[in-house]
Amino acid sequence: MGLLDRIDDWLGDGLERLLCSHHAHRLRKLGWGEVLDEPAHGWFSPHAPIRHGCRLEVLIDGEQALPAMVAAIQGARSHVYIAGWHSSPDFKPTREPGAQPLRDLLAEVSQRVPVRVLLWAGPPVPAFQPTRARARKACEEFMRDSQVRCVLDSRERTLHCHHEKLVIVDDEVAFVGGMDFTAMEGDRHDSPQHPADRPIGWHDLTTKAHGPVVADVTRHFVRRWREVAGEDLPKVKTPGPAGDHTVQFVRTVPERTYEFAPSGEFTVLDTYMRALRSAERLVYLENQFLWSPEITEVLIGKLREPPDDRFRLVLVLPRKPSNGADTTRGQLGRLVDADDGAGRLLAVTLTSHDGDNAVPVYVHAKLGIVDDKWMTIGSANLNEHSLFNDTEANLVVTDAALIKQTRLRLWAEHLQRSVSEVDDEPDKVIDQLWRPLAEGAQPHRIALLPGVSRRAERLEGPLRGLLVDG
């Protein structure tokens, strides 16, 4: 190792230790220190209710998720609540003939039931999208000639946002995931086939929840709405049992953002840390980013001292994230070093092929699976924004049958195989299918994630964290 590499390592390690120390100190002051201070294991956070008797469906890609949301909204009998990062009034959630733009859909439904839309107000300075002018224009358009009430939430931490994506209908069904009602930055309409007939594909996930956990999602929206809009919504009704899934609603709510959570809430981080520490054989992550040194440290420990010889870590990430690419590659470089050629780590990206035409598939999903015993899906990325500073919403489930079914559906999609062909021991499928396809000379849906940045190039994320975490 040359002098420049040693300096690079020293700077990278030092800055990440400083960032982790900063986060630990911040959480200790807020009464959340155990999340990082104690090596707790398990599947659920002790800081949020665990709901039995729920039913959870996993909707893969826009082709499945968007029509389900539209159908629920159209069938509303009591009310519709939507919370998002950004929603575009002219966005058509489905591509059926005669499909309505979102604005018209909500306006029509608002003639029968109250419709409330809560969106991020955009950054204070127009440094990135959606600008405040764009958010304000969208809000005004949603309310034009309709009874929809749309409110912009500007209570974000500096350089952060309101990132959760929720649709709640009648206190009976809640959609929690990564799907935004907008074509900004990419076309959300895509299918598991990911045809190469567009500039960029889009891979995303959303959950559809029934049962008691819906009340937790609704209360979160109602509390945000009360503080931002100044309106008291009807008392939340708790649905009766709807299935046999045990589900937990987890959040990131930064401190001093809302009166209902003055010390914040960091249960997304908590459940991730507990589950990853508990991993024995498999960690499977689909995410837009991999910046968080806290998450990376746990994964490094698993690679250096695998709990089982069959332990594997599979990462599905974008080829070129919307920002932070060098930071993600830097963390990946640390994981590659920890694996040290053992073949337990595989990091891939997705591409669609049609003859000589190759189209990147943007990974916008936010999914974690551990040992087919724990799964989380929601809006939270594995970066400092989502785990500490943006508002985020995820669901956690521990039903082994649902988790395995979801994993097999995703693996069949990415490997372009039938579910039966990928239904074997995870380590065998990874070694005998995932890796040969990713490393093969023939173009395939999956390919090794290209490039590992120098340590100095990965410092964007930690530097941003130190500057704006507070």
SS3 for the chain is CCHHHHHHHHHHHHHHHHHHHHHHHHHHHHCCCHHHHCCCCCCCCCCCCEEEEEEEEEEEHHHHHHHHHHHHHHCCCCCEEEEECCCCCCCCCCCCCCCCCHHHHHHHHHCCCCEEEEEECCCCCCCCCCCHHHHHHHHHHHHCCCCCEEEEECCCCCCCCECCCEEEECCCEEEEECCCCCCCCCCCCCCCCCCCCCCCEEECEEEEEECCHHHHHHHHHHHHHHHHHCCCCCCCCCCCCCCCEEEEEEEEECCCCCCCCCCCEEHHHHHHHHHHHHCCCEEEEECCCECCHHHHHHHHHHHHCCCCCCCEEEEECCCCCCCCHHHHHHHHHHHHHHHCCCCCEEEEEEEEEECCEEEEEEECCCEEEECCCEEEEECCCECHHHHHHCEEEEEEECCHHHHHHHHHHHHHHHHCCCHHHHCCCHHHHHHHHHHHHHHCCCCCCEEECCCCCCHHHHCHHHHHHHHHCC
In this prediction, residue 350 carries a pLDDT of: 96
Per-residue model confidence (pLDDT) at position 4: 61
Query: Cα 173–179–185 angle (5° rounding)?
Result: 160
Using alpha carbons, select from 412, 132, 416, 453 the residue that is nearest to residue 321. Answer: 453
pLDDT per residue, tens digit, the chain (470 aa), is 566 666 666 676 777 888 899 999 999 999 999 999 878 899 999 999 999 999 999 999 999 999 999 999 999 999 999 999 999 999 999 988 889 999 999 999 999 999 999 999 999 888 788 999 999 999 999 999 999 999 999 998 888 899 999 999 999 999 999 999 998 877 899 999 999 988 899 999 999 999 999 999 999 999 999 999 999 999 999 999 999 999 999 999 999 999 999 999 999 999 999 999 999 999 999 999 988 999 999 999 999 999 999 999 999 999 877 554 445 666 788 898 899 999 999 999 999 998 888 999 999 999 999 999 999 999 999 999 999 999 999 999 999 999 999 999 999 999 999 999 999 999 999 999 999 999 998 999 999 987 654 444 445 545 554 554 43
pLDDT computed for residue 451 by the predictor: 62
Query: Are 316 and 411 in a shared domain?
Result: yes
The answer on 440 and 344 residing in a single domain is: yes
249-294 tens-digit pLDDT: 999 999 999 999 999 999 999 999 999 999 999 999 999 998 899 9
Which domain-ending residue is among 243, 271, 295?
243
| Total of domains in the chain | 2
| pTM for the structure as a whole | 0.95
- In terms of domains, do 173 and 303 share one? no
Look-up of token digits 């598991």: 192
Residue 151 CB-density burial (10 A; 0-12 exposed, 13-18 middle, 19+ buried)? middle
Backbone angles phi, psi at 67, to 5 degrees: -60, -35
206 and 290 fall within a common domain: no
Could you tell me the residue range of the domain that residue 35 belongs to?
3-46+248-468
Q: Which of 213, 243, 273 is the last residue of a domain?
A: 243
Do 446 and 329 lie in a common domain?
A: yes
* Chain centroid offset of residue 469 CA: 20
Residue-level pLDDT at 38: 78
- Cα dist. 25→22, 41, 264, 341 in Å? 5, 21, 14, 35
Same-domain pairing of 16 and 110: no
Alpha carbon 445 to chain centroid distance? 21
Specify the pLDDT at position 470.
38
Q: Are residues 214 and 269 in the same domain?
A: no
Quick count: other Cβ atoms within 10 Å of Cβ 184?
16
Q: What is the pLDDT of residue 245?
A: 98
- CATH code of residue 319: 3.30.870.10
Tell me which of 189, 220, 243 is where a domain ends.
243
Kindly state whether residues 355 and 222 are assigned to the same domain.
Answer: no
CA distance 110 to 116: 9
Q: Are 156 and 122 in contact (CB under 8 A)?
A: no
Same domain? For 195 and 176 the reply is yes
In terms of domains, do 162 and 237 share one? Answer: yes
Residues 61 and 186 in one domain: yes
| Token pair of 383 as six digits | 């970066």
Q: What is the pLDDT of residue 326?
A: 47
Residues 373 and 272 in one domain: yes
> What local confidence, expressed as pLDDT, does residue 6 receive?
65
